[in-house]
Amino acid sequence: MAGDDESWMTVQLTACRGPSSGRHGGRGAEPGAAGGGADHDSGTKAGPGRNPDYLSGNLLLQSDAINRLGTQSSRREQIMNEQNLHRLVGEVKTGRLSRRGFIRRMAALGLAAPLATQLLALGGVAQAQTQPAYKPTRRGGGGLLKILYWQGATLLNPHFAVGTKDQDGSRIFYEPLAGWAADGTLVPMLAAEIPSIENGGLVADGMSVTWKLKRGVKWHDGAPFTADDVVFNWEYAIDPGTASVSIGSYRDVEVTKLDDFTVKVAFKKPTPFWADAFVGSRGMIIPKHLFKDYTGDKSRDAPTNLKPVGTGPYRFTDFKPGDIVKGELFPDYHLENRPYFDAIEVKGGGDAVSAARAVLQTGEYDYAWNLQVEDDILKRLEAAGKGVVNVVETGNIEFIQVNTTDPNREVDGERASITTTHPSLSDPAVREALNLLVDRKSVQDFIYGRTGIATANFLNNPPRFRSPNTSFEFSVQKANDILEAAGWKRGRDGIRAKDGKQLKYVFQTSINAPRQKTQAIIKQACQRAGIELELKSVTASVFFSSDVGNPDTYTKFYCDMQMYTTTMPQADPQLFMNQYVSWEVSTQANKWQGRNIVRWRNEEYDNTYRAAESELDPVKRAEMFIKLNDLVIQSRHIIPVVARPLVSASGKAVQTSLSGWDNTFWNLRDWYRDSQA
């Protein structure tokens, strides 16, 4: 991603909290030590996922928005305006200045009220930033782009694509209305612009969003792209007979065509997160004229399922499920000078290490996807100098759950029933001690390296939702003191006990080398504090299965502690944070399909979550999510270990555009080869 820096003109408005202070475990650089709210880095160098530390709590603003702020003013005056804004927005957030006061002052500076409110509102679904510079000055001429996936795409209909490999395969050919950039902002694809209050796309009551479509877009077969196609995708997805996996994004909305290039998405209740339908991985639009005869039960017979016709930069040439997807340059693509490559080939199969090898060491391939490979190996391969490892931030997190219920007692045939409480883990002191015994820094340093960043938060990204109120520490001494004070005394075998209950736990995870190493590190530390852990590892295909008959699945959680990674599929945390609401508890009654696997229940959490679901002020909403994070972290039933970024490799000269919030190929049109790099 070298060379992006100059072009990313992001300006950050400092929110009340100021720069983060070293709790987020920075990648590479030590976190900045700067203090006060107004003191900040004016951040003209923020690349995607480059310097996450000081993005914390800041709002991102489009550079041309700044230009609009400072109409007809010199650059110096612009900077004055920025600094004023930073201070004022910060004051609004801390409560020293009312929102009305802010707008009045803005008006005094010559800014219209809608724009001023938008400045405050940007924390929600923020406007897109300018994209990294795209250098090629003509279409094509780039030869073949060779990409390796160690799991090949198995189908190419985006409405059937569950896994990222299938979504990525579809994304080569299909596009949504907008995609998610690395910083969690929207970039228009088939939309003419991102809806906002200013352009009339959003309404104040949050009941609908109006999308203006790009004109002159053609399908690969030459047919024009119109609002009918967009409406059709909604009808297609919500038909239960289709059994589309995208139904969750579409069934609660009502889509109507206003004119040939305008579509309105109406919600049933005020919806702060309006960018779900038609956006990102589940928003890819398929052509009405080729699918209209194949809806519902007939959907599986559509020939276009295997031979996609989309609007993307490359058009389909060949597909063999699990093996290869091929495309060629689409000469009528709707963006000028794009795409750069004449053809694209995505080869599947094999394993992650050899995929990394083919890019980093031999240069046989240009890009390798999702390298779940130990950082040591990646570093060694990188030393060959043929390619670089890309690390992109996501919301995915490897964490430990500490059971609230008793896994060893059966109530009406159900273990870990929510009518029970755990005999010893229900003591906050024990959980506090466990939290101190997880040596996250060592786990990062010795196991994950760049591929796992130690964290104290459950909700880590996008940065505007990251809590600054948490911290982590590793101290056996403190853990011992806390346990001693709480009355847990060491027995003759060195294991602490109270009232006949010993601190002996079963700690399970899936079979996966880094996880077993992490387990061992934690076990050792616990031993020194008089807690005995029995380590258990379950085959991944069993652990992550939803097999109701198997006692070892992670959703059943029939043990004291467990560790795995939970993923955050969207840049909005609403779906992610429902993992701790009381109505999502995983029980026998819902066949363990509930998302709240740790079975922690808290009224304040529930209420805050419900409020966040309908809070339209993005800044307040972000505060609520930070509070949700803090609540669950303070409970110590959740111990975050490392945040898991997305790791991939690309050839030295290949300029990619990646995002942790969307598919690998979300912005494939901007990929090119830079011979100077």
* Binding interface with another protein (CB under 8 A): 144, 148, 151-152, 154-155, 157, 160, 162-163, 240, 243-245, 247-249, 251, 282, 300, 305-306, 318, 320-324, 326, 345, 347-351, 354, 357-358, 361-362, 364-365, 541-542, 544-547, 550, 569-570, 575-576, 578, 593, 595
**Least distance to another protein from the beta carbon of 591, Å?**
8
Type of residue numbered 551: P
Residue nearer to another protein on the CB measure, 95 or 549 = 549
In the complex with another protein, the residue whose CB is nearer, 112 or 306, is: 306
Q: How far apart are CA 351 and CA 184, in angstroms?
A: 30
Residues present in the chain in total: 677
Smaller CB distance to another protein: residue 172 or 533? 172
Q: Which is nearer to another protein, 224 or 551 (CB)?
A: 551
How far is CA 31 from each of CA 17, 191, 436, 644, rounded to the nearest angstrom?
15, 38, 22, 19
Which residue, 192 or 540, has its beta carbon nearer to another protein? 540
Smallest gap from Cβ 572 to another protein, in A, equals 11
Q: How far is the CB of 547 from another protein (least distance, A)?
A: 5
| Six-digit token string for 189 | 């694809």
Q: Which is nearer to another protein, 242 or 451 (CB)?
A: 242
**C-alpha distance from residue 154 to each of 109, 144, 281, 319, 365 (Å):** 56, 22, 16, 9, 21
**Most distant CA pair in the chain: distance in Å?**
80
In the complex, the smallest distance separating the C-beta of residue 508 from another protein, rounded to whole angstroms, is 16
Compare residues 211 and 294 and give the one whose CB is closer to another protein: 294
Cβ atoms of 156 and 170 within 8 Å: the answer is yes
Q: How far is the CB of 588 from another protein (least distance, A)?
A: 15
Pick between residue 457 and residue 570 the one whose CB is nearest to another protein.
Answer: 570
Pick between residue 106 and residue 153 the one whose CB is nearest to another protein.
153
Alpha-carbon distance of 370 to 128, in angstroms, equals 25
318: left (phi over 0), alpha (psi -120 to 50) or beta: beta
The distance of closest approach from Cβ of residue 523 to another protein in the complex, given in angstroms and rounded to an integer, is 27
Residue 62 vs 242, nearer CB to another protein = 242
DSSP per position, 244-288 = -TTHHHHTTEEEEEEETTEEEEEESS--S----TTBGGG-PPPPH
Alpha-carbon gap, residue 457 to 460, rounded angstroms: 6
Q: Do 4 and 76 contact (CB within 8 A), yes or no? A: no
Residue among 147 and 453 whose Cβ is closer to another protein: 147
Tell me whether residue 305 or residue 562 sits nearer to another protein (CB atom): 305
Least distance in angstroms from the C-beta of 613 to another protein: 15
Q: Within 13 Å and on the Cβ side, how many CA atoms surround 179?
A: 27
- Minimum CB separation of residue 247 from another protein in Å reads 6
Q: 544-576 burial by CB neighbour count: b if 16+ within 10 A, else e?
A: ebeeeeeebbbbbbbbbbbbbbbebbbbbbbeb
Omega of the bond leading into 339 within 30 degrees of 0 (cis): yes
Kindly state the smallest distance separating residue 388's Cβ from another protein, in Å: 18
Q: Are 311 and 217 in contact (CB under 8 A)?
A: yes
* Cβ at position 667, least distance to another protein in Å: 21
Cβ 510 to another protein, closest distance in Å? 12
Beta-bridged to residue 398, according to DSSP, are 565, 642
Q: Which residue has the tokens 């820096």?
A: 5
Q: Do 362 and 386 touch, CB atoms closer than 8 A?
A: yes
Give me the least distance between CB of 384 and another protein, in Å please: 9
Q: What is the chain's alpha carbon radius of gyration, rounded to the nearest angstrom?
A: 26
Compare residues 117 and 361 and give the one whose CB is closer to another protein. 361
Least distance to another protein from the beta carbon of 24, Å?
25
Asked if 658 contacts 646 with a C-beta cutoff of 8 angstroms, the reply is: yes
Q: Which residues contact 546 (CB under 8 A, 6 or more apart)?
A: 553, 555, 591, 592, 593
Q: Which of helix, strand or coil describes residue 633? A: helix
- DSSP designation for 446: I
